[in-house]
Amino acid sequence: MIVRPRPHLLELFFIIKGSIVLRIMPLLIFVATLSTVIVSIYTFKPGWLPKFDGGPFALLGITLSIFLAFRNNACYERWWEARKIWGEFVLTARSLARLSKVLESDKDVTQSPRRILLECNIAYAQALLVQLRPSNPQHKIHAYLPEAVFHEYSSSKNPAEAILRAMECVLIQALHSDRIDSIQFNMLDELLQKLAQVQASCERIQNTPIPFGYTLLLHRTAYTFCFLLPFCFANTLGWATPFVTALAAYTFFGLDALGNELEEPFAMGANALPISALADVIEIETKEALGDTDIPPLPVPKDFVLM
């Protein structure tokens, strides 16, 4: 995620970070060059190319805008829902750290059930991170999980769920040993179910892209439209055509490319969500609630980007 103060007017035109201008530059250059060629032909070799009226293209352009807006909206909502899910994750981790105090009793030594539960939760956040960004390092998961749970984690077809199952066992044991009663078990279990919901929702967003047919149809129409634009603008705009078609192409390709980035909110693009930082926040706050003193610093953006 790009984190930076709102730029001033002139800066606005020279910011590269977070802009998708670099990614679509080849296309813009192609459109501008094509425009130049066509205007040259119209000017120096009139008659070589037929002249077109802009009307039909305007209709196509407005139609295209309406559907691009539809797709952008869908992508943005996925992105925002993904952010809500991780906000829910941070909230649940806090509630678990707070409420699990009922698990404590006076005679606990360091390996209290509460500590096991909360350290498993730190590992769970990291495990989810690995599921969403497979290149993420796994050493924290090993560090925070008890040996037996880590073994289960490694061999499971659904590693994150394996951690939750271990956390459930901690709760059931506490229930059976009368450390907590059924009501308190219910309260803590509800938090585990919310943690499980975070995983299920993330999976849904990661594994179910916008229907491929839409992407295909919109890409094709947008590209064809932008490559046709010079033919219908050259007529009325003359040598200004390359500039105006490049501007139009920037808008259409740019929104299309942004939609692509937001469609995958857990990827590593500049506009992706800072889920790595959020997992670190969960670690920091959980350790603080446990009374630990070796608390890592809060994550900071690097080069305006927080991952």
Name the helix (H) or strand (E) containing 50.
none
- Judged by CB under 8 A, the residue of 29, 33, 87, 111 near a copy of itself is 87
Q: Which stretch binds a copy of itself (CB under 8 A): 38-46, 94-102, 117-125, 129-137?
A: 94-102
Q: Residues 41, 88, 299, 307: which binds a copy of itself (CB under 8 A)?
A: 88
Residue ranges in 257-276 that form contacts with a copy of itself under rule CB under 8 A: 258, 260-262, 270-271, 273
Describe the crossing of helices 113-132 and 55-99 by its angle, rounded to 10 degrees. Answer: 160
Q: Pick one of 33, 40, 43, 63: the residue that binds a copy of itself (CB under 8 A).
A: 63
Residue 2 near a copy of itself by CB under 8 A: yes
Q: How far is CA 93 from CA 43, 132, 280, in A?
A: 68, 18, 12
From the list 112, 138, 206, 215, which residue makes contact with a copy of itself (rule: CB under 8 A)?
Answer: 215
Identify the CA nearest to 249 among candidates 273, 217, 222, 221: 222
Q: Which of 122, 185, 242, 276 binds a copy of itself (CB under 8 A)?
A: 185
Smallest distance, Å, CB 299 to a copy of itself? 12
Closest CA to 214 of 79, 68, 76, 78: 68
Cβ proximity to a copy of itself, 98 vs 142, nearer residue: 98
Choose one: 33-41, 95-103, 128-136, 139-147; the region binding a copy of itself (CB under 8 A): 95-103
55 binds a copy of itself (CB under 8 A): yes
Contact with a copy of itself (CB under 8 A): which of 41, 133, 223, 307?
A: 223
Binding residue (CB under 8 A) for a copy of itself from 36, 112, 146, 168: 168
How far does Cα 72 stand from its chain's mean position? Answer: 14
**Which window, 114-122, 128-136, 143-151, 188-196, contacts a copy of itself (CB under 8 A)?**
188-196
Q: Does 254 bind a copy of itself (CB under 8 A)?
A: yes
The DSSP result for 120-171, as a single string, is: HHHHHHHHHHHHHSTTS--HHHHHHS-HHHHHHHHH-SSHHHHHHHHHHHHH
What is the secondary structure of 160-224 as a DSSP string?
HHHHHHHHHHHHHHHHHTTSS-HHHHHHHHHHHHHHHHHHHHHHHHHH-PSPHHHHHHHHHHHHH
Find the binding residues for a copy of itself in span 113-152 (CB under 8 A).
Answer: none
Residue 296 to residue 303: CA distance in whole angstroms: 20
41 belongs to the binding site for a copy of itself (CB under 8 A): no
* Full 3-state SS string of 262-287: HHCCCCCCCCCCCHHHHHHHHHHHHH
**Which among 33, 31, 37, 34 is positioned nearest to 222, based on CA atoms?**
31
Per rule CB under 8 A, is residue 102 in the interface with a copy of itself?
yes
Q: Measured in Å, how far apart are the chain's first and last C-alpha atoms? A: 6
Residue 282 CA, distance from chain mean position = 18
Cβ proximity to a copy of itself: between 37 and 244 the closer is 244
Q: State which of residues 132, 164, 170, 275 lies at the interface with a copy of itself (CB under 8 A).
A: 164
As measured in angstroms, the least distance from the Cβ of 278 to a copy of itself is 10
# of chain residues touching a copy of itself (CB under 8 A): 118
CB of 110 to a copy of itself, least distance (A): 20
Q: List, in sequence order, every residue forming a beta bridge with 70; answer none if it has no partner.
A: none
Pick from 25, 29, 91, 143 the residue near a copy of itself by CB under 8 A: 91
